[in-house]
Copies of this chain bind each other. A is one copy, B any other.
Amino acid sequence: MSSHESGRRATIADVARSAGVATSTASVVFSGKAKVSAATRAKVLAAAADLGYTGPDPRAASLRRGRSGIVAVVLEGHLRAAFLDPVTTAMMDGLTDGLADLSAGILLLRDDPRESDGSALANAPVDAVVLIGCSGRTRASLDIVRSRGLPVVVIEGDAGEGVPRIVLDNAAAAADVARHVRDLGHRDVALVTLPLDTARERMPVTPARVETATVDVTIDRLEGMWSIFPDAPAISASGSLIDEGQRVGRMLLADAEHRPTAILAQSDLLAVGVIRAAEELGLRVPEDLSVAGFDGIAVDGLGGLVLTTSVQPAVQKGRAAGEQVAQMLKGEPGVTVHFTCRFRAGTTTAARPAQP
């Protein structure tokens, strides 16, 4: 049907001319911003169909409107790693919800340390930005965003003054888990932490080392755990992965003489890895070893066990971020939103085994 096959794509002006109406009228037919008589609408639509015009060019529309309908989400590190983390994906899920009213798209960006200023973030046609994560690198991204004057929300990160954040009671929640384990009688407890900084090195964690750590989540949860077990040895994992938890678990359980009776992990995935390591060594969970995690995600493949953990409202965090963005885009100021975790006693923790 499309007859007029010229080299150029048809514009709304072409459509209007062909339909014998003003461009503004044709525009309104597509935007629905004003009333148009049925006859005129039909004429315009027919002309559009004839010319193969499928609607306004989003680029021109966003220039004119001052809105692109896109919200950037800045993730730390490789996208792949980010999406390997169930908490991140849950947050993204909530974010799409919270942004639903805007029907905004989500532009995935990583805070790339390499391209310092030519950053995609500096040139992306976005209306607002959500920063996820926390390390020092986020600060650089934050500076770019603020200088562009874009609304921004930071999820669990170190934001400057006046930047709306989504925060979690990490320290308190971690302390809750630790308290539960202490109340079960455990005294010999070891910790598995999330990475301390962007170097993501697997290593023993000392209070001195924590001074130089940059990941707030790790620091806060560790603080909560140490508040109950001040002397608990800790090893930082290189990432929140089951296999990584298994590796660290092996390290912590290697010495049969000085084996902890409980291990607290800073994420559920790490906890599952620790359980695997225990099973490898023939230790029963929770009879021989209690294991607790953090996050409360649906762990795929834990058999019949239910992990003792602190359930964080990951989806809600994402949704709240989306809602704040939506609000700021309406011109109202964004606010910092606090969330709390809920302790969940599972079947992976039990009373301290009787000492031989």
Contact = CB atoms under 8 A, between A and B. Distances in A.
A78 interface: yes
A183 B35 CA distance: 72
Contact of A55 (B109, B123, B243, B276): B123
A272 interface: yes
Contact of A84 (B9, B89, B106, B301): B89
A267 interface: no
Interface string A106-143: 11110000010000101111100000000000000000
Interface stretch (A60-68, A161-169, A212-220, A337-345): A60-68
Given A54-B148, A242-B301, A93 B79 contact: yes
The size class of the interface chain A forms with chain B is 35 or more
Contacts of A109: 105
Contacts of A260: none
Contact of A124 (B9, B69, B246, B280): B69
Given A105-B120, A147-B52, A58 B301 contact: no
Interface string A234-255: 0000000111001000000000
Contacts of A300: 84, 241-243, 269
A356 interface: no
A70 B125 contact: yes
A352 to B, nearest CB: 27
B92 A80 contact: yes
A149 interface: yes
B92 A79 contact: yes
A224 interface: no
A331 interface: no
Given A80-B93, A105-B108, A108-B106, A301 B66 contact: no
Interface string A82-103: 0110100110110010000001
Contacts of A301: 242-243, 246, 272-273, 276, 301
Contacts of A89: 79-80, 83-84
A58 B93 CA distance: 27
A284 interface: no
A57 B120 CA distance: 13
Given A147-B52, A276-B301, A303-B280, A58 B105 contact: no
Interface string A3-14: 000000100000
Contacts of A84: 86, 89, 300
Interface string A299-319: 011010000000000000000
A200 interface: no
Nearest to A109: B105
A347 to B, nearest CB: 16
A59 interface: yes
Contact of A149 (B9, B72, B148, B273): B9
A84 B93 CA distance: 11
A39 B72 CA distance: 36
Nearest to A280: B303
Contact of A120 (B103, B126, B144, B280): B103
Given A9-B149, A92-B83, A58 B303 contact: no
Contacts of A55: 122-123, 148
5 contacts: A9-B149, A58-B123, A68-B125, A79-B106, A241-B300
